[in-house]
Amino acid sequence: MHKRYTSLDSNDRRDGRRFVPQKTLARAVRCRGIGLHTGARVTMTLHPAEPNAGIRFLRSDIADAVPIPARYDRVVDSRMCTVLGDGGGVTVSTVEHLMAALAGLGLDNLMVELDGPEVPAMDGSAAPFMFLAEEAGLIEQASPKRVVRVLEPVSVEADSWQVALSPSGGFSIEMEIEFASRAIARQCLDLAAVNRTFASELARARTFGFLEEVEQLRQAGLARGGSLDNAVVVSGNHILNEEGLRFPDEFVRHKALDAVGDLYLAGAQIIGHFRGVCSGHAATNRLLHALFRSRGAWAWDTMRRGDISRRAIKAHPSESVAAALAV
């Protein structure tokens, strides 16, 4: 049913260096789950897409809805999650974990169909989405992968946070967080090669929240689907999840995961070094706006073999999400 694309041939070699091809899925695949903030039960279907189509979201529950490109300039809200909009009131919420998984897998072209307002939370990490895509299979396409190469440093900061992008030979990320709770305290993470290490170092890190804030968030229309099944919940200085943490520093790893997903809204993989200090979705989005306003700070380029590892990436879901994937 879907066109099978072939990889680049020798005619696509330039200066003796073979360029990396774009990727999509071999077939459509779907899952069901609960939205973290809306609490709505949603079916999500990932469809293959043609070369250069990019990542797009489509609300199939809304008549005459048009696809929403997964781009930083389509972000309409970033308070507690990243929300994309079509400019006419149609939105898709909490796209960051899925976008992080797609970035980690190097998927360029995809149509994400949803019959509700929010991407399913699954277990609160990116691992179930990686597993879902791998179940469908990844195929190369006959077009070179484009990247956004950072040429000059760009930064944005406020009293309590800072974000920056600087030139680098690949995609690396540095993240620092600090919370009053001793369950989190101050945590730092520095990953030199995100493309090679995303599955093992970031994908399984879950979103987190504070029990003391739940009622206030729900009154604001947020966290209505949050539970111990899809988030790490902190109460005072204690973690309420019986199984504990997946990493000793799972909190900063999830913040880095969020940043990977939000940065993929550049419209392509960023080749540069990202640094975030106590930052979140809004800060990363502001950074992308600042980057693309500075014409000399970035350039479109074609990904070379040295920019990303070709090593196979595998992520396995926990038992609690396996059933949701088998639909």
- Does some domain include residue 284? yes
Burial class (CB in 10 A: 0-12, 13-18, 19+), 1: exposed
pLDDT in tens, 153-204: 999 999 999 999 999 999 999 999 999 999 999 999 999 878 789 999 999 9
194-201 vs 250-263: helix axis angle to the nearest 10? 130
Hey, what amino acid is at 170? G
Position 45 pLDDT exceeds 70: yes
- Does some domain include residue 3? no
Angle at 97 between CA 91 and CA 102, to 5 degrees: 100
**Tokens 């396409």 sit on residue:** 141
- Does some domain include residue 199? yes
Mean of pLDDT values over 280-309: 91
Q: Which of 222-226, 272-276, 295-299 has the lowest mean pLDDT?
A: 222-226
Question: Which residues are designated catalytic?
Answer: 281
Mean of pLDDT values over 268-281: 98
242 versus 326: the higher-pLDDT residue is 242
How many domains does the chain contain in total? 1
Give the bridge partners for 232, in sequence order. 208
Position 268 pLDDT exceeds 60: yes
Close Cβ partners of 96 (under 8 Å, ≥ 6 residues apart): 81, 82, 257, 258, 261, 262, 281
- Does some domain include residue 311? yes
Supply the pLDDT for residue 79: 87
- Does some domain include residue 197? yes
How far is CA 59 from its chain centroid?
Answer: 19
DSSP result, 125-162: SSHHHHHHHHHH-EEEEEEEPEEEEE-S-EEEE-SS-E
Position 120 pLDDT exceeds 60: yes
Tokens (6 digits) for 179: 């919370």
CATH number at residue 39: 3.30.1700.10
| Structural domain span for residue 218 | 10-325
Q: Confidence band (pLDDT; 50, 70, 90) for 221? A: low
How far is 33 from 18, CA to CA, in rounded Å? 40
Tell me 73's DSSP state.
G
How far is 112 from 70, CA to CA, in rounded Å? 10
Mean of pLDDT values over 104-112: 98
Residue 192: how many CA atoms within 13 Å on its side-chain side? 0
Supply the pLDDT for residue 9: 40
How far is 127 from 95, CA to CA, in rounded Å? 14
- Does some domain include residue 242? yes
How far is 81 from 182, CA to CA, in rounded Å? 24
- Does some domain include residue 2? no
Mean pLDDT score of the chain: 89
- Does some domain include residue 169? yes
